[in-house]
Structure 1
Amino acid sequence: MIYSEKARNYATSLPSMHRAVTAYMFHFVLNPDFLPQKLNDNILPFSAFLRDGFGRRHNYLRISLTEKCNLRCQYCMPEEGVKLTPRNQLLSTSEVLTLARLFVQEGVDKIRLTGGEPLIRADVLDIIAELKKLQGLKTLAVTTNGINLSRLLPKLKGAGLDLINISLDSLVPAKFEFIVRRKGFHKVMEGIDKAAELGYNPVKINCVVMRGLNEDELLDFVALTETKPLEVRFIEYMPFDGNKWNFKKMVSYQEMLDRIRQRWPDLERLQAGPADTAKIFKVPGFTGQLGFITSMSDNFCSSCNRLRITADGNLKVCLFGNSEVSLRDALRSGAPDEELLQIIGAAVGRKKKQHAGMFSISQMKNRPMILIGGYAQPSGPDARTALSPRTPGTLVFSTKPMSPKPNSVRMFHNHNSSQINRESRSNQTRSSSDTQLSHVDSQGRATMVDIGGKPPTCRTATACATVILGSTAFRLLRDIQLAKGDALTVAQLAGIMASKQTSSLIPLCHPLPLDHASIAFQLDSQQSAVIITATCRTTGRTGVEMEALTAASVAALTVYDMCKAVSHDIIITDVKLLSKTGGKKDFNRHPSLEN
């Protein structure tokens, strides 16, 4: 680590503009040999929030502006398409700019706009113009499928766009249409020529190489660099949800290189930057160059400096990881910059040393490429698709209170000894091995359960909690007349955010990437109570009952907080697990235990 822990802890308590300098000064005091070396290397202090546990500095941010696209490329999405997130759950322009400003303030000096297809977003020019005003941002790039590029390029350049990556997977029009499931080859070629004409150098061409589809065009793509200022980047075929990846379709970097060297044996390798993803080569005498992005056969994780923000506001620290954290939810809940930075810093700090490898990745649950914004330009469905509750990272909830059916909502806060005894007797039917505490070792010390040998499965849990408010607070909550606003909407956000922080709140819980989290409410006017139901789902090696219980509990606490100005005579009760499935043993609370 560049900063000592002492410097980091002190610096994070200061205003952001002073953090890096203060940490730098602390480290110099504690490590006097540091200063000359860093001055000689011309490396400035860098935010501790964007540095992971392996010392990698993340100064490159990719922002997905939309999930929509005007193509349907085979390698980045399922054939049946994907479900899009509702527009109100996507980042607004102001939210994009707020997050970008925060990251640049902390040391990000390069931003790439991706999608979906970013150039179909109506305000893309305004976003680019505003991003260029950020002090400290050196490079602003866009990755596009090129369909709209020729028409927009003069305005894009005028707004300040520095670099362009264009996806092109075939030089044969019919094959192009087969791969992207749409027409548009000539528009893409026109965009490439227009970019070169306007002085972009190099114009980067992203080509995903797939065996049996386009690997026979490798030499044709290299030939493009003879007279044009292009950098053709050959990308190994990568696994994402629904793209039917398999090892036999992947053409490795070494195989591609061998084929090209048979035609141009004097191909020479160029020096690349320390964080460059591509291995760069050049045919002597050619104007342009070529590169290889070798994510599968020869990963570059050790020098990774990239972070991603999805269109719905989730931060991904690794393209191939399924762990995400919502910056959108924190932003919309009014979190100040310091709180956002703590969330970002925690996510970056959890980044693994490297991705799991191509075979493991192909078995993992992850978003389709279009919903991430990967190396090659994702392409996707038309506007008719809608939200899918099964999309990883998508949180589905309703802010409208549900009206209970007559006699369907019951209060269970009057636990008596007979009910407790019934539950106790039912538990006694379990074997002695099942009743052994799982978080205690043979010496009675607290320990985290080793789940490494368990197979990943789809696991779901549902929990509930009841908040008894009293008639006045209940009426104000129901009619959304509380001084603090809409209590149920705030409680939903709080519960969902809490479910994703369970492992931070409860020491021996495993951190789990949630596929889904939802909060629902029922209003019981007879009891002046709110019944909260939380459901969480993951694909993992351990269950999500703690996430569901945490979500229900924090949602209940939030209702209390929203209503306490009216009355402190509020009771939170009956916090319990209702069901869990997908593990070694399923659990469903028996109705007889509620009588």
Structure 2
Amino acid sequence: MAQQLDNDLQFEDRFHRKFYYLRLSVTDVCNFKCTYCLPDGYKPTEKKKPSFLTLNEIERVTRAFAECGTSKVRITGGEPSLRRDYTDIIRIVAAQPGITKVATTTNGYRMEKNVKEWREAGLTHINVSVDSLDPKMFYQITGENMFHKVMSGIDAAFDAGFEQVKINTVLLKNQNSQELPKFLAWIKTRPIQLRFIELMQTGEMDLLFQKHHVSGVSIRNHLIANGWLLKINGKNDGPAQVFCHPDYMGEIGLIMPYEKDFCQSCNRLRVSAKGKLHLCLFGDHGVELRDLLSADEQRTELISRIQGGLKEKAVSHFLDAGNTGMTPNLASIGG
């Protein structure tokens, strides 16, 4: 059961937005080469081996967030399952009092083998990146010939007891933007929430954004015209506009960050794999936390630093003004 908290112990910014949702990156390494993220593959930014958050540090930062109202943690990357201690990470996060949802976002390549183990460790929700239902287009976008392996992993997730699997599809003009009929047929008899995510401009992707960005508005108009109904989001849900239809087991979600007032209901914060708090995916700076993760006795100071950082959180990401902040690619701080 979630802890009862005093108002002054809840993470809240100066615009009175409360933060119930932590996206915790555990690595920036990824084994895919998606065109919109790491088209040339992962390249370390340091010569020495990267030092990602340890299990003890993950426990301390997660507990601090849980004590201040966070009830949902999403474990992200890069590709989080590349960590050998990934199952232990899930178990640690799930054990924190107040955390009721433990989710992950994965490219799915290890799901067929490991998803049952993850669920037993405490994973409650899972998102899988599938940018096309055409194996050739999947390869073109991801740089990896793993379509059938990922699809088998989705089947394994259902076999392991997940009642719903969320699928993330980055909308790319002239690549997968024409696949809506195929996707709709796929989810008609399966409890999949398919989430179309508008391509977002990052520091390294200006040309690709100009070539392939397409709005999700046309998909929303099609859904509404064909009897799909908008659902109401819960307090720790993400930013997707989710639609359901009485004739479909599955759902459609739309994430459209360029739409007016997208940030108005922001309820999530990010911590990078190296222990930096990011107030926004497209923020101009982060807040160092790692020096306060070495001992349990530092938790009060850690919470105070996070609260201080929230005073600097902007009202919007300003993506519509062409501001991409300090984010070079989505893998760098957990997408």
TM-score by length of 1: 0.53
| Match runs of 1:124-203 below 5 Å | 124-203=86-165
Q: Does 1:82 align with 2:19?
A: no
* Cα shift at 1:102: 1.3
Give me the whole-angstrom Cα distance separating, in 2, the residues matched to 1:252 and 1:88: 36
Aligned to 1:230: 192
RMSD of aligned alpha carbons: 2.2
Q: Over residues 336-356 of structure 1, what are the superposed CA-to-partner deviations in whole Å (9 max), with x where a residue is unaligned?
A: 222212211111121111111
Q: Which has the higher contact order (CA 8 A, sep 6+)?
A: 2
Note closer, same or farther for the CA distance 1:72–1:335 as it changes in structure 2 (3 Å cut).
Answer: farther
Q: Does the alignment pair 1:327 with 2:292?
A: no
SS of structure 2 residue aligned to 1:82: coil
CA distance in 2, matches of 1:349, 1:216: 42
Change (3 A) 1:302 1:149: same
Match of 1:281 among 243, 259, 277: 243
- C-alpha distance in 2 between matches for 1:138 and 1:332: 25
Structure-2 change in CA distance of 1:333 and 1:158 (3 Å): closer
Q: Summarize the Cα distance change of 1:46–1:175 in structure 2 as closer, same or farther, 3 Å threshold.
A: farther
Is the Cα–Cα contact under 8 Å of residues 276 and 287 in structure 2 kept in the other structure? yes
C-alpha contact (below 8 Å) 1:79/1:243 kept by paired residues: no
Q: Indicate if the aligned counterparts of 2:203 and 2:326 stay in contact, CA closer than 8 A.
A: yes
In structure 1, the partner of 2:213 is 250
**Which residue number corresponds to residue 51 of structure 1?**
12
Distance in 1 (CA, whole Å) between partners of 2:174 and 2:248 is 28
> Counterpart of 1:352?
314
Map Cα deviations across residues 450-474 of structure 1 (whole Å, 9 max, x no partner).
xxxxxxxxxxxxxxxxxxxxxxxxx
Report the identity percentage.
35
Deviations 1:1-59 (CA, angstroms, capped at 9, x unpaired): xxxxxxxxxxxxxxxx99x44xxxxxxxxxxxxxxxxxxxxxxx4624x1100111111
Distance change (3 Å), C-alpha of 1:243 and 1:356: same
- What code does the residue aligned with 1:192 have? I
- Post-superposition Cα deviations, 1:305-361, rounded to whole Å, max 9, x if no partner, equal 101111111100111112101111343599822221221111112111111133422
| Change in CA separation of 1:82 and 1:241 when aligned onto 2, cut-off 3 Å | farther
- What amino acid is the match of 1:57? K
Query: What residue ranges of structure 2 are gaps of 5+ in the alignment?
Result: none
The CA deviation at 1:70 is 1.4
Answer yes or no: is the 8 Å Cα contact 1:196–1:228 preserved in 2.
Answer: no
Q: Could you tell me how far 1:128 is from its partner in structure 2?
A: 1.2
**2:19 counterpart SS class:** coil
CA apart distance, 1:83:
2.5
Cα distance between partner residues in 1 of 2:53 and 2:32 = 22
- The yes-or-no answer on 1:304 pairing with 2:266 is yes
Whole-Å separation in 1 of the counterparts to 2:107 and 2:17? 30
Q: Deviations over 1:121-180 (max 9, x none)?
A: 101111111222211111111110000011001111111110000000001111111111
Give, in whole Å, the separation in 2 of the partners of 1:336 and 1:225.
47
Give the alignment of 1:363-378 within 5 angstroms.
364-374=325-335
- 1:526-547 CA distance string (max 9 Å, x none): xxxxxxxxxxxxxxxxxxxxxx
Work out the CA distance in 2 between the residues paired with 1:167 and 1:131.
22
Q: 2:179 is paired with a residue of what secondary structure?
A: helix
**Structure 2 residue 241 is the aligned partner of structure 1 residue 241:** no
Deviation at residue 98 of structure 1 after TM alignment: 1.2
Structure 2 CA distance for aligned equivalents of residues 239 and 357 of structure 1? 8
Shift of 1:91: 1.2
Matches of 1:135 and 1:339 in 2, distance apart? 20
The aligned counterpart of 1:465 is none
- Provide the secondary structure at the position in 2 that maps to 1:235: strand
The aligned counterpart of 2:64 is: 102
The question of 1:294 aligning with 2:256 is answered yes
Contact 2:282 2:317 in 1 (8 A): yes
Where do residues 504-543 of structure 1 align in structure 2 (5 Å cutoff)?
none
Q: Which residue of 1 aligns with 2:229?
A: 268
Q: What code does the residue aligned with 1:53 have?
A: R
How far apart, in 2, do the equivalents of 1:337 and 1:70 lie?
34
Assess, with a 3 A threshold, how the Cα gap between structure 1 residues 345 and 243 changes in structure 2: closer, same or farther: same
Note the alpha carbon deviations across 1:464-487, whole angstroms, 9 max, x for none: xxxxxxxxxxxxxxxxxxxxxxxx
Task: Verify the 8 A CA contact 1:241 1:366 in the aligned structure 2.
Answer: yes
Which secondary structure does the structure 1 equivalent of 2:81 belong to?
Answer: helix
Distance (whole Å) between structure 2 residues aligned to residue 192 and residue 299 of structure 1: 33
* Counterparts in 2 of 1:173 and 1:80: CA distance versus 1, 3 Å: closer
Structure 1 gaps, min length 5: 1-16, 22-44, 375-595
Residue 246 of structure 1: SS of its match in structure 2? helix
Are the equivalent residues in 2 in contact too, given 1:274–1:303 (CA < 8 A)?
A: no
Aligned to 1:66: 27
Cα deviation for residue 367 of structure 1 reads: 3.0
The equivalent residue for 1:521 is: none
Q: Is the 8 A contact 2:21 2:71 kept in 1?
A: yes
Match of 1:571 in 2: none
C-alpha distance in 1, partners of 2:281/2:297? 26
Q: Hey, what's the Cα distance between the residues in 2 that align with 1:109 and 1:352?
A: 23
SS of the residue aligned with 2:178?
A: helix
Cα 1:200–1:366 shift into 2, 3 Å: same
SS in 2 for 1:370: helix
**AA matched with 1:273:** G
C-alpha distance in 2 between matches for 1:334 and 1:269: 43
Does the C-alpha gap of structure 1 residues 126 and 275 become closer, same or farther in structure 2, counting only changes over 3 Å? closer
Distance in 2, Cα, partners of 1:353 & 1:293: 18
In structure 2, the CA distance between the partners of 1:146 and 1:118, relative to structure 1 (3 Å rule), is same
Instruction: Quote how far apart the aligned CAs of 1:213 are.
Output: 1.1
Answer whether contact 1:169 1:176 (CA < 8 A) is retained. Answer: yes
CA contact 1:219–1:260 (8 Å) conserved in 2:
no
